[in-house]
């Protein structure tokens, strides 16, 4: 099959990690008979330097015409003093809005060979950990009505949590569909004991659940979910939640794996389109030094194969190759530990390709 991928290397280590990911995808194409056509576009600081804008219109147009987008990272100290709407990070919000990316998928996967990086006790995590947080990305309190006014105690500010049936339904479906490809368990996180928007959320999720009788659904209040992620994280398979709760819980869940350079993410639109990127930033301190860990980006490409292209076998091939390289003791600096073999960005990329 033929797939068009827009690539946005961006800033800092972005070009280093995207380069290795393209090589991995090329190898997958060669092995399984697919053709991946890459079109590189500008966003972030490098786009500001070349065009004056963090997200040029040409980038938006090419992304929209592609089947999926692969992003490295944007931002860095060079652009830190620009005004808010001219900063590189503005490109990320712009892409979410322009591409209609309403669902953010963040797996928190603790690889067995890296389990010492988990801050929890061994008896809590066992051999590994595998949780998928599905966060609603374009609704809720971050996008609701807000303002300032005079209230009972003088000046006050307000933000509003609003969710429509449609918004909850489509994110719930993403969660159930993902659970069908995993361990068939969904935990919907809300605050239905207090918030009206959460009561609607819960009712809609229950309706959607009727279409997925094989999936076990349970509801959890967000305060309890924050506690349970530490107390007994193995009870979770897929967590589906609102924009703000997901913002917080996905960071908490990723900390359980202890390694920022390992974690991929997907942001999905309706249909099969998605943007795939590592959860870490542009790491300007190690940019261009062959020190960055490309695995989060390579695993993001595996998510692209799974969620946008429906290539499950190919996705698993990448994930297995990464596990094998870790089992052989190869590590980039960020995940290095005693007795392991230190390698650079290019070397670990090549080792993963060799395993394919």
Would you tell me which residues interact with ligand NAD (CB under 6 A)? 13, 73-76, 89, 92, 260-261, 277, 280-286, 292-293, 296, 332, 334
Question: Alpha-carbon dihedral of residues 300, 306, 312, 315, nearest 10 degrees?
Answer: -10
Question: What values do phi and psi take at 274, rounded to 5?
Answer: -155, 160
State the minimum distance, in angstroms, from the CB of residue 69 to ligand NAD: 13
**Which of residues 190 and 334 has its CB atom nearest to ligand NAD in the complex?**
334
Nearer to ligand NAD, 11 or 237 (CB): 11
Report the residue number, 223 or 285, with the smaller CB distance to ligand NAD: 285
Q: Are 278 and 262 in contact (CB under 8 A)?
A: no
Catalytic residue among 80, 159, 211, 251: 251
Q: Counting runs of H as helices and runs of E as strands, what totals does the chain give?
A: 12, 14
For the bound state, the minimum distance from the C-beta of residue 91 to ligand NAD, rounded and expressed in Å, comes to 8
Name residues whose C-beta falls within 8 Å of residue 122's C-beta, 6 or more positions apart in sequence.
Answer: 115
**Catalytic: which of 142, 184, 185, 324?**
142
Closest residue by beta carbon to ligand NAD: 281
Q: How far is the CB of 340 from ligand NAD (least distance, A)?
A: 15
Residues β-bridged to residue 38? 5
Beta-strand ranges (E) seen in the chain are: 2-10, 35-40, 68-73, 103-110, 129-136, 146-151, 154-159, 185-190, 216-221, 238-241, 264-268, 274-278, 330-331, 341-342
223 is catalytic: yes
**DSSP strand pairing (341-342 vs 274-278):** unpaired
Nearer to ligand NAD (CB atom), residue 106 or residue 170 = 106
Choosing from 49, 61, 211, 223, the catalytic residue is 223
Q: How far is the CB of 12 from ligand NAD (least distance, A)?
A: 6
CA distance 334 to 260: 8
| 89-124 as b/e: b if 16+ CB within 10 A | ebbbebbbeebebbbbbbbbbbbebbbebbebeeee
Least distance in angstroms from the C-beta of 308 to ligand NAD: 19
Q: Known catalytic residue: 142? A: yes
Pairing of strands 185-190, 238-241: parallel
Q: In 3-state terms, what secondary structure has residue 268?
A: strand
Closest CA to 24 of 7, 46, 10: 7
Region of residue 76 (left: phi > 0; alpha: psi -120 to 50; beta: else): left
Sign of dihedral through CA atoms 183, 250, 116, 280?
A: positive
Q: Smaller CB distance to ligand NAD: residue 76 or 139? A: 76
Q: How far is the CB of 99 from ligand NAD (least distance, A)?
A: 15
Taking the least distance from each CB to ligand NAD, the nearer of 173 and 280 is 280
Q: What is the distance between the alpha carbons of residues 147 and 181, in angstroms, rounded to a whole number?
A: 42
Task: Identify which of residues 192 and 326 has a Cβ nearer to ligand NAD in the complex.
Answer: 326
Rg of the chain on CA atoms, in Å: 20
Shortest gap between Cβ of 152 and ligand NAD (angstroms)? 38
For residues 265 and 104, the answer to whether their CB atoms sit within 8 Å is: yes
Given 67, 90, 190, 191, which residue is catalytic? Answer: 191
User: Among 247, 307, 330, 334, which one carries the catalytic annotation?
Assistant: 247
Residues annotated as catalytic (active site), given as ranges: 142, 191, 223, 247, 251
């Amino acid at each position: 099959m033929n797939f068009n991928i827009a690539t946005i290397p961006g800033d800092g280590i972005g070009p280093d990690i995207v380069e290795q990911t393209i090589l991995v995808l090329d190898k997958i194409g060669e092995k399984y008979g697919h053709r991946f056509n890459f079109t590189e576009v500008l966003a972030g600081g490098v786009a500001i330097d070349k065009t004056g804008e963090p997200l040029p219109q040409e980038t938006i147009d090419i992304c929209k015409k592609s089947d999926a987008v692969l992003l490295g990272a944007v931002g860095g100290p060079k652009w830190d003093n620009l005004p808010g709407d001219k900063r590189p990070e503005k490109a990320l919000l712009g892409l979410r809005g322009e591409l209609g990316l309403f669902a953010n998928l963040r797996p928190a996967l603790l690889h067995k060979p890296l389990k010492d990086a988990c801050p929890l006790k061994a008896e809590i995590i066992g051999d590994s950990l595998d949780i998928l947080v599905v966060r609603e990305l374009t609704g809720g309190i971050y996008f609701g009505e807000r303002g300032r006014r005079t209230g009972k105690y003088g000046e006050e500010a307000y933000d509003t949590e609003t969710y429509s049936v449609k918004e909850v339904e489509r994110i719930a479906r993403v969660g159930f569909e993902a659970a069908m490809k995993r361990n068939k368990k969904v935990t919907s996180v809300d605050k239905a004991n207090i918030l009206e928007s959460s009561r609607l959320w819960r009712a809609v999720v229950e309706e959607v659940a009727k279409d997925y009788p094989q999936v076990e659904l349970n509801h959890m209040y967000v305060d309890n979910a924050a506690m349970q992620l530490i107390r007994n994280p193995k009870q979770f398979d897929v967590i589906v939640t609102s924009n703000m709760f997901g913002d917080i819980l996905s960071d908490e869940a990723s900390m359980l794996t202890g390694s920022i350079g390992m974690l991929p993410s997907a942001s999905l639109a309706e249909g099969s389109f998605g943007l795939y990127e590592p959860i870490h930033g542009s790491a300007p301190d190690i940019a261009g030094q062959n020190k960055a860990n490309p695995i989060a980006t390579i695993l993001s490409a595996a998510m692209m194969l799974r969620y946008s292209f429906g290539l499950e076998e190919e996705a698993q091939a990448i994930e297995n190759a990464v596990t094998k390289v870790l089992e052989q003791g190869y590590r980039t600096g960020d995940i290095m530990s005693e007795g392991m073999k230190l390698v650079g960005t290019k070397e670990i990329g090549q080792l993963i390709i060799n395993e394919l």
